[in-house]
């Protein structure tokens, strides 16, 4: 694999995973700071263990029992749905039709819910913070697993993709431990826009190739093979820019808010 492809794989996986880890960290921090660090951390640790077991079992089953094209179709479709959800939010935010995601606000909402929740104790743990941390880390972690599988298999280097995701997790963990608060300074809206584009593009590419499972089991090929991935990415990007300008005109007048700076402008 060429060095540019290597850097592309590392950057795409690191960025996508980073955003997922930031969300997981916010949940664990909210539970730890408002209720019980011990329970929140146990929830996070057990979620990582459960995630490892799920990944090993699902990975073995998928690789050994499913044709490669069926795997592409399934994972590509999932990734496409994730990516389009993020892209939809990014377009609505940039068009001024939805408020910007704010990790501080997310933290406040989680913390408020934690304060009013009942004080049920099981196995010596505060059950609410344990369950919320477990669920948050497992959910975000599962998305990271799918990201690593897709980006890694597409570049024929799953270990490198896993390493990039691990580095993103470590970076978020270290920053969170040092800051001891939600990572509000991360340009999360811009990152989510980029990640939405990446996931939508890889998801489209993979899901469509996987449709070959309905024909003869071979891949349905794109013109130019892997190079068409760039075309798919460009198509989603251009579409998103057009939609950011057109969608406010479709909305009822009361729905449109003063347009915030575009996410791309916020990056620069």
Partner 1 sequence: MRFLEAFGRFWWDFVVGDDWKIAAGVATVLIGAGVVVSSVGGGGAFVAPLVGVALIAAFVAVVAVDVRRR
Residues that bind partner 1 (CB under 8 A): 73, 77-78, 80-82, 84-85, 87-89, 91-92, 97, 135, 138-139, 142-143, 204, 207-209, 211-212, 214-216, 220-223, 228, 232, 235-236, 239, 243, 247, 250-252, 255
**CA 55/CA 223 separation, integer angstroms:** 33
Of 135 and 185, the one with the shorter C-beta distance to partner 1 is 135
- What's the closest the beta carbon of residue 211 comes to partner 1, in angstroms? 5
Which H or E element spans position 126? Answer: strand 125-126
Return the number of the residue (33 or 198) whose C-beta is nearest partner 1. 198
Least Å distance between CB 62 and partner 1? 16
Q: Which is nearer to partner 1, 163 or 231 (CB)?
A: 231
**CB 218, min distance to partner 1, A:** 9
In angstroms, what is the minimal distance from the CB of 186 to partner 1? 21
Pick the closer one to partner 1 by CB: 135 or 156: 135
Q: How far is CA 92 from the centre of its chain?
A: 18
> Scanning the structure block, which residue is given the tokens 């005109």?
249
Q: Which is nearer to partner 1, 239 or 259 (CB)?
A: 239
Nearer to partner 1, 97 or 111 (CB): 97
Scanning the structure block, which residue is given the tokens 């699902």? 58
Q: Kindly report the backbone phi and psi dihedral angles of residue 126, in degrees, each rounded to the nearest multiple of 5, phi listed first.
A: -75, 110
Q: Residue 122: beta bridge partners?
A: 125
Task: Give the chain's largest Cα–Cα span.
Answer: 59
Instruction: Extract long-range pairs of 69-72: CB within 8 Å, 24+ residues apart.
Output: 69/209, 69/210, 69/211, 69/212, 69/213, 69/217, 69/218, 69/219, 70/210, 70/213, 71/210, 72/206, 72/207, 72/209, 72/210, 72/213, 72/219
Based on CB atoms, which residue is closest to partner 1, 48 or 239? 239
> Shortest approach of partner 1 to residue 142 CB, angstroms?
6
Report, in Å, the least distance between residue 178 CB and partner 1: 30
Distance CA 260, CA 170 (A): 32
Tell me the closest approach of the beta carbon of residue 268 to partner 1, in angstroms.
Answer: 25
């Amino acid at each position: 694999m060429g060095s540019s492809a290597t850097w592309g794989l590392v950057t795409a996986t690191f960025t996508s995973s980073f955003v997922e880890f930031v969300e997981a960290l916010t949940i664990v921090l909210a539970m730890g700071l408002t209720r019980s660090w011990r329970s929140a951390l146990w929830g996070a640790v057990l979620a990582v263990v459960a995630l490892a077991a799920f990944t090993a079992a699902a990975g073995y089953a998928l690789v050994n029992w499913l044709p490669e094209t069926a795997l592409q179709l399934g994972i590509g479709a999932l990734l496409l749905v994730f990516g389009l959800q993020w892209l939809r939010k990014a377009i609505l935010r940039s068009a001024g039709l939805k408020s910007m995601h704010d990790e501080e606000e997310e933290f406040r909402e989680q913390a408020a819910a934690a304060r009013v929740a009942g004080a049920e104790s099981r196995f010596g743990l505060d059950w609410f913070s344990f369950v919320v941390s477990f669920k948050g880390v497992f959910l975000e972690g599962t998305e990271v697993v799918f990201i690593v599988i897709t980006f890694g298999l597409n570049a024929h280097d799953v270990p490198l993709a896993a390493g990039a995701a691990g580095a993103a997790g470590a970076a978020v963990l270290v920053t969170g431990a040092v800051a001891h608060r939600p990572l509000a300074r991360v340009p999360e809206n811009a990152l989510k826009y980029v990640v939405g584009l990446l996931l939508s593009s890889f998801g489209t590419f993979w899901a469509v190739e996987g449709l070959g499972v309905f024909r003869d089991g071979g891949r349905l090929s794109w013109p130019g093979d892997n190079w068409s991935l760039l075309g798919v990415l460009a198509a989603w990007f251009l579409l998103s820019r057009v939609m950011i300008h057109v969608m406010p005109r479709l909305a009822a007048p009361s729905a449109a808010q003063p347009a915030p700076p575009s996410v791309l402008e916020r990056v620069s």
